[in-house]
Amino acid sequence: MGLYSLITGRRGPSGFGSATTAEEVTQGIDATHLTAIITGGAGGIGMETARVMAKRGVHVVIGARNIGAAENGKAEILRQNTNARVTLLHLDLSSVKSIRAFVRDFHALHLPLNLLINNAGVMFCPYQLSEDEIELQFATNHIGHFLLTNLLLDTMKTTAKTSGEEGVNITVNSVHPGLILTNLFQHTALLMRFLKFFSFYLWKNIPQGAATTCYVALHPTLKGVTGKYFADCNEVTPSKLARDETLAQKLWDFSVKLINSVSKKNYLGFEDTI
Ligand SMILES: NC(=O)c1ccc[n+]([C@@H]2O[C@H](COP(=O)([O-])OP(=O)(O)OC[C@H]3O[C@@H](n4cnc5c(N)ncnc54)[C@H](OP(=O)(O)O)[C@@H]3O)[C@@H](O)[C@H]2O)c1
């Protein structure tokens, strides 16, 4: 899948392409047996992902920092589909304390966890430290999701075991949604509008932006597929840096160290077992 496919919307080997929407990739899928956490599901791509997944029957748990916005999103999902199962929990991914509280709140619901969609993110925000004194973008996008995933891993393993998905266990994939003008660009809104004017053919709308996430999460052809990277609903090769295992291990070790130091300082008792 290259620039030509992106511009023309030509479909790739999966049968889908850059112009495919989240509803199209999940057409006919019955996901009523699944529970998913979607971080940042109160707006943008996450909100559309939540809406479409709920439409396919998934019990969607939205982790949102802005509960007011999440309530509006939930109301809209329920307006379109009265049977939708949507639960809202507060989550600030830039705060170790908030992530731990979210995980406790989720466990209190006694739900299985089939899908964890690490979607929330910020970009180009002015330099700022999180409450844990970590640079805000790194704290939110990487450290927050790193901790959240590790804290939820046992629940996901238990779900995989009890749902009898033999040999499948847990799969992990990453996606690039494409270029979509959302709040993500709030710190560079003018520049982005200007750029979009000259490169309108490279941009997607939000339903197209949520397609790759929904495809990877729900499409039956991806059962058991792990460690892959997807864009425009097709597998693509990640960058050289992303394939550097030594660098990945360094980042893992650094992340554990950083979280441990924050947890120790705040008496949060993080166990160094990940
Ligand atoms: N749009 C693109 O062109 C593009 C391109 C490549 C990758 N992506 C990725 O796609 C994902 C979704 O982006 P989007 O375009 O949908 O942007 P968006 O509309 O700005 O949505 C981002 C979501 O993340 C939430 N969030 C931000 N900081 C958070 C925190 N500390 N704790 C919890 N939630 C937080 C936001 O909540 P608030 O409402 O509280 O801010 C919002 O719901 C991001 O990871 C982004 O990096 C997007």
> What is the CA(164)–ligand 1 centre distance, in A?
33
Q: Which residues line ligand 1 (CB under 6 A)?
A: 39-40, 42-46, 65-66, 69, 91-94, 119-123, 140, 176-177, 179-180, 182-184
* 175-179, 217-221, 259-263, 267-271: range with lowest mean pLDDT: 267-271
Q: What is the mean pLDDT of residues 3-18?
A: 84
Q: What's the CA-to-centroid distance between 69 and ligand 1, angstroms?
A: 13
pLDDT at res. 9: 76
Q: What pLDDT shows up at residue 189?
A: 78
Ligand 1 atom nearest the C-alpha of 95 is: 31
- The whole-chain average pLDDT of the chain stands at 92
Is pLDDT of 104 > 60?
A: yes
Q: Which residue from 183, 185, 230 has its CB within 8 A of the most atoms of ligand 1, so it is best to mutate? A: 183
Tell me if 38 sits within 8 A of 86, measured CB to CB: no
Q: pLDDT tier at 196 (50, 70, 90 boundaries)?
A: confident
Task: Compute the average pLDDT of residues 232-243.
Answer: 97
Lowest mean pLDDT of 86-95, 161-170, 199-208, name the range. Answer: 161-170
Whole-number pLDDT of residue 27: 98
Average pLDDT in the 20-42 region?
97
* Confidence (pLDDT) at 270: 58
**Reported confidence tier of residue 219, pLDDT bands at 50, 70, 90:** very high
Angle at 9 between CA 5 and CA 13, to 5 degrees: 65
For residue 8, pLDDT beyond 80: no
Sign of CA dihedral 137, 87, 157, 169: negative
Q: Return d(Cα 3, Cα 9) in angstroms, integer.
A: 10
Question: Degrees (nearest 5) of the Cα angle 65, 93, 97?
Answer: 100
- Residue 181 has a pLDDT of 87
Report the separation in Å between the CA atom of 73 and the middle of ligand 1, taken as the mean of its atom positions: 15
- Tell me how far the alpha carbon of residue 228 lies from the centroid of ligand 1, in angstroms: 22
The answer on pLDDT for 103 being more than 90 is yes
Q: Is the pLDDT of residue 273 over 60?
A: no
Pocket probe mutation, ligand 1, options 90, 182, 204, max atoms within 8 Å of Cβ: 182
Helical H runs in the chain?
Answer: 3-8, 22-25, 44-55, 67-80, 96-108, 136-137, 145-162, 189-198, 206-209, 211-218, 245-265
Identify the pLDDT of residue 52. Answer: 98
Going from the N-terminus, what domains does the chain have, and what CATH number goes with each? 3-265 (3.40.50.720)
Percentage of the chain modeled with pLDDT above 90:
78
| pLDDT recorded at residue 199 | 81
Residue 1 has pLDDT above 70, yes or no: no
* Residues 111-151 pLDDT 10s: 999 999 999 999 989 999 999 999 999 999 999 999 999 99
More confident residue, 186 or 81: 81
